[in-house]
Amino acid sequence: MPVSDKVKATAGIGNAKVDTYIKEVKVRQGKSISGEVYVLGGEAEQKIEGVYLSVMTSVLTKKDDQKIMQEVEIQRVKVSEPFTITPNGEKTIPFSFFLSLEAPMTVKRIEVWLKTILDVAFQCDPRDKNYIQVIGTEAAERVLSAVQQLDFSIKKAVNLKSRRTYSGVIQEFEFYAGGSFKKGFEELELVLISDSAGTAAYFQLAPNGIGETNLLAKAMDKNDPELSLHYRYGDVPAINVVANHVQELLLRKLR
């Protein structure tokens, strides 16, 4: 594929330019993502120490008692060894890697993107940004569907800092309480964490009038939550079975 028009439009001026093409922007956690990085030289020959792809997202955090959104790196992959790009020269770098299982699902305003970085010595790094759509593992998707099948409606999803994951990020889902759980409870909180063995789902019912959010994420930094389900890859039951598991788990909490 030829170097993109976006790159050519700024060619010949200043430093090397970079643009990334992603073959399929919809990708499941833990599955392969592939494409090509296009590099176009500037006015002078340049030594590129390497090309990197970073999987990025934003987390909700606090600074000076104010809630802010902060960009964080979930994963970084080196896709090129050092090379020299000649003036107005072109280079195409194919890439393929497995998306981190900790990349958050892109639901309810959650965004994930690939940031392409050219490592250029002593100069500002040329960069490129490409959004991707992340879907959960099979188990994660079925847990989400099962919860909604039990008449819980999704309120929001938020990325938070946490010591429970390698990336330092967890994603928490909040649902309005429904069905038999509506009496006495305001919402359900859910955190899904996947690793090489499978997916774990952690739950917490937030009582009415408590006035505090992200209770589950805060608790998980201290100990294992009381309510949890675990599903191994290749052994994930149908959505209605998962819904029964979730219902039985939550009902035990109410007794």
| Structure tokens that stand for 206 in this block | 């937030």
Q: What percent of the chain has pLDDT over 70?
A: 85
Task: Please tell me the distance from the alpha carbon of residue 198 to that of residue 29, in angstroms, as a whole number.
Answer: 11
Mean per-residue pLDDT for 212-229?
70
User: Could you give the residue range(s) of every CATH 2.60.40.640 domain in the chain?
Assistant: 5-135
What CA–CA distances, in Å, run from 210 to 128, 184, 205, 215? 43, 11, 11, 10
Span 171-191, pLDDT tens digits: 999 998 877 777 767 889 999
Domain 5-135 architecture: Sandwich (2.60)
pTM for this prediction: 0.86
Q: What is the per-residue pLDDT for 9?
A: 38
pLDDT tier for residue 31 given thresholds of 50, 70 and 90: very high
pLDDT tier for residue 122 given thresholds of 50, 70 and 90: low
